[in-house]
Every structure is written in structure tokens, then in C-alpha cells.
Structure 1
């Protein structure tokens, strides 16, 4: 099944109640499958958005939409408190959460200011994932590791159904992490060729360690959407340069801009590579048009993928 959602992290927390409700209703009415919320503690000078808080707002504001938290900076938090937050979210929206995690590190000061050595964040994430998976069972957990020690720790109620954990990144470490601890893989800034290769590598690594290969493969993709391709590129470049503080040309090969047809055609090779879950980080002249155009992308992509 092909699912398409839209990233709402810039609006879900800043909107008032009525406008937030209108946003979520528009997503549902457009036939989109989920919303995505991002997470940063303090990115490039203080920008940020708490993924758990945003997910709670989205789950409480829509009865059927699923919420992808991605990518959550798990390495910067304690897994015990994260497990508690996820348990609480599962009570608000059981079966409607996918938890995406990554090692972070794009802004080293964000990591170090959270009391984490940037050089150890990958190992810390691996340990956190093992703890989360254990706590998700509802059983008592004892753990004595490099970064965390738990003595008869337990989180009840355990998330039911279990919350899928999907791993972000395309490095060899992310491949190993997905095969060993993840329920799926979530890509961003990834070519279709790289996507194909990474899926193959994950399945090979899972087979090597004797674990069933994950079956959830997704892509978060920045895109500019407008009936005028030039306007789409301009609004996308402005958004990305403001956030990342880099020239748009650094991203343009992997961040399509154009009409919904243009973006759907860009995404089709990813479907052929095995991607089944798309999240559009849609840049448009208004949030309403962003959602409407994203819904058009879904409609066209579903038709294209069925031949």
C-alpha cells in the first residue's frame, strides 16, 4: 500500500486551535494518510520544535490521521522518559504513531549543549533503541550499559499496538542499526539509486544477523509546489536556505520543485525502488495550497504507480 502524507511541524505548534483544526481537517479531506512532525532541540542558533508535543497536538486534533515523528533526536534524550512519552501518545492515538529516530549531529552544538559527546551519539542511539524495544514489551527491564543504567524499570501501559520504530540516515551505521533494531527505514536527501542500494543493504544485513528484514521503507522529501514551476522553485529555495543556511543548489538535485505532476514523476522511481511511505515537506505560497497540492501529488503518484 502506498501512503502519502505532509509535514506540518512549522504550523502545528504555532497555529491557534481553530487554524490547527482547519489544517488537520484539510489534510484528511484531501485524502492524505498522515502528518509528519519534526524534532530539534536547538538547531543553528536556537530554532527547534519538540516532536512529542507536536505529535500530541496532531493526534488529539484528528481522529484518523496517523502521525510520523521524524526524525526524533533520540540520542539527546533518556530512553526511559522517551518510552513514557510514547506510551502516553499511544493512549491518545493507539495504532496511529510511527516513531522515526536518527543520530543527529548536523549541528554539533545542539548535541553538546544537551550534555552528549557528539563522537558517541551513534553508540548512545544504539543503546537507547535496545532499551526502547525492551520497554515496549511492558516487562521489567534491568540494564547496565555504556550510557544508561536501569534497575527494574518498567513502562505501563505498554504501547498497544506496538509503535513501529523506523531508522533515519543512509550511512553504513544506519543500515546496521535498521537491520538490528528497526521496523523500517526512513530516508531524506536520498537519490532513487541510493534508496535502492540502501534497501538492498538493509535486507542483506538483516539476513546476515539472522533477523527478519524490515518491511517499512519511507522517504521524507522537500518539494516546492505550485502551478508555476518557477514560483515553486523560488518558495522552496527561500524555505530551505532560511532553515539550513546553505545555498539551495546544495539540495536542488534531491528537492524537486514544480507542479504536482512534476513532483509525482520525480517520486515514481522511489516507488520502483521499494518506497511505500512518502512525506512531502511542501513549500508553497500558503499552507492551504501546500496541502492541496500534496493531495494532488498523491493522486497522481498512485495512478502512475499502477501503470
Structure 2
């Protein structure tokens, strides 16, 4: 059966704990946590997931660090999962991130998945002290470093971009942290097929989605990973309702990311009570009810 996760992008921060408790009570699988470092007054490149390249938020839109959000929501829940969707990896340091990811995994009892992307804005790289050039190869090495450290024990790494002698971070997570790779380009799909435990989408149309899933199947076979579990986490923009969700599931989607209050005509900044009602209404119909997928 397909899973449903709740997307909480652009949600007021004080609503997050109660939304997490309600989502767990309703039977949602996970909370999908977005990432935005800051709002630069002037953007030098187009945002890749809107038709005109503009951002869907303003300088006053609320954002929270997704790792801190996962720890805070994990503290008031016991079963629901959390994953970043996606954390912009390229502007960060992998050794520091390994400490943070390992901490969240331990504090939530292995209820955390690490969804990662490169990042789209040169300013996020440069103003955080990371190079924008060569970002793809650098991120590949970052994933290698983080996985190495999270695996536990005394480890060392001597690569093109990062170099350190033997070190250990304790405690290591008692289970491997799943890595979900974002991005719609062929390079990103290759990364997901090669090192990921799943692929996670931005907003996507069904026809584009089926092409991506077909491509991932081919690539995973090339890398000899066809038999391993693999999540397909999707934000669909043109398939909704019981028939639409069934279509997504039949196409190979394992996790549908939804924002129930948007479906009910409420905004991202709507009152908490309206959002709680929407969470329950959606779950009653599509998770537990006659229209369950």
C-alpha cells in the first residue's frame, strides 16, 4: 500500500509540533521537511521548479532548519518518520552534517531519512563559503563522507575535496540512515540509482514522473541495485483523489507527499485548527476510508 507523507513547507514554526502529533495520530507515514537557508534580495539564476523561474515565497516566509525541526517534532511523537525533502547539501560541510544527522537519527529512534539535493542558488554556496563550481562532484564526495562517518567506528577520508585523518563520532545510529536523492536531471537520477535508498521529487507532472521512474529502473539495473529496496517519493501536481493516487501507486510511487490544507483551500499560513481538520479529513478518506489506496 502506498504511503502518505505530510509536506510542511512554509508553515509557521509554532504549528509544527502539533501538526506532527496530529499526523501521527491520523496514520501518515512521515513528515517531509523542506530546506531554505535564506532569502537573497536578488537572485542571479532562475528557480528551477516554476515556469517563470520565480520563487514561491518571500523574504517573510517562515522556514526552519529541517534537522532541528525533525528533532523537535520527534520529541513529541513516537512512531511517525521524518525526512528532509530536500536538504541543500552543496553549501554545507559534510563532517558537521554527519554529526547533526547522526544526532537526529539517535534522538528520533531511527525515524529519520536524509533527503539531499545539490542546491540551485550560487549565493547559497558562495555566502556559506562553498564553491559553486564543481558542485556535483563535491556533493558526491560529501555523500560518501557522511555515510562513512555514520557507519560508526574510527574512519578516515582522503578525497579531492575533503581530507581528514582517523576520527569517530559516537554514538553511531543503530540502523543505517536512508539517503533519498533529489533532482530531475539525468545526473541526479544517476546519483539516486548509484548511492540512494530512494528518489524524491520536486513538483512534477505524471508524464514526466513515469519517464523518471522508467529511467531509474534502467539505471538501477546498470548499477546492479535492482533488487534493493528503493523509495519513490513524489509531489504530484496533476494526480489527486482516489483514482489519481492509485495511478501514482501503479506507476511505482511508494510515498505521496500531500499538503491536505491546500486541498481544502487553506493557505500555508492558515490557522492551526484548519490544518488539523484537513489532516483528519484527508486521512479519514484516503488512508483509512473507502477511498484508501
Contact 2:17–2:72, Cα closer than 8 Å, also in 1: no
**Which of residues 288, 292, 297 is equivalent to 2:273?**
288
Looking at structure 2, the residues matched to 171 and 305 of structure 1 have their Cα atoms a distance apart, in angstroms, of 32
Contact 1:4 1:32 (C-alpha < 8 Å) held by counterparts:
yes
The offset of 1:44, in angstroms, is 4.1
> Residue 298 of structure 1: CA displacement?
4.5
Partners in 1 of 2:223 and 2:113 — Cα distance?
24
After TM superposition, the structure 1 = structure 2 runs for residues 100-111 of structure 1, keeping only pairs within 5 Å, are 100-105=115-120, 107-111=121-125
Count of residue pairs brought into register by the alignment: 264
Mapped pair 1:148 → 2:144: no
Equivalent in 77, 90, 106 of residue 91 of structure 1: 106
Report if aligned partners of 2:92, 2:130 keep a CA contact under 8 Å in 1.
no
What displacement does 1:43 show?
Answer: 3.5
Q: Contact 1:31/1:295 (CA < 8 Å) preserved in 2? A: no
Residues 288 and 132 (structure 1), Cα distance of their counterparts in 2 relative to 1, 3 Å cut: same
**Separation of aligned partners in 2, 1:116 and 1:37:** 23
Contact 1:5 1:279 in 2 (8 A): yes
Q: Provide the alpha-carbon RMSD of the alignment.
A: 2.4
Within a 5 Å distance, the mapping from 1:49-68 to structure 2 comes to: 49-68=64-83
Q: Deviation per CA, 1:92-138, whole angstroms, max 9, x where unpaired?
A: 11221111000111x32222212223232211111111112222211
Q: Distance in 1 between matches of 2:80 and 2:196?
A: 23
Gaps of 5+ in 1: 222-253, 257-261
Which residue of structure 2 lines up, in the alignment, with residue 125 of structure 1? 139
**Structure 2 gap ranges (5+):** 42-58
Please say if residues 138 and 161 of structure 2, whose CA atoms lie closer than 8 Å, have aligned partners that are also in contact: yes
- The structure whose residues are more often helix, as a share, is 1
What is the TM-score when the length of structure 2 is the normalising length? 0.80
Higher relative CO (CA 8 A, sep ≥ 6), structure 1 or 2? Answer: 2
Residues 1:66 and 1:151: Cα distance change in structure 2 (over 3 Å): same
Q: Conserved in 2, the CA contact under 8 Å of 1:99 and 1:165? A: yes
Separation of aligned partners in 1, 2:19 and 2:221 = 42
What TM-score, normalized to structure 1? 0.77
Contact 2:3 2:29 in 1 (8 A): yes
Aligned equivalent of 2:6: 6
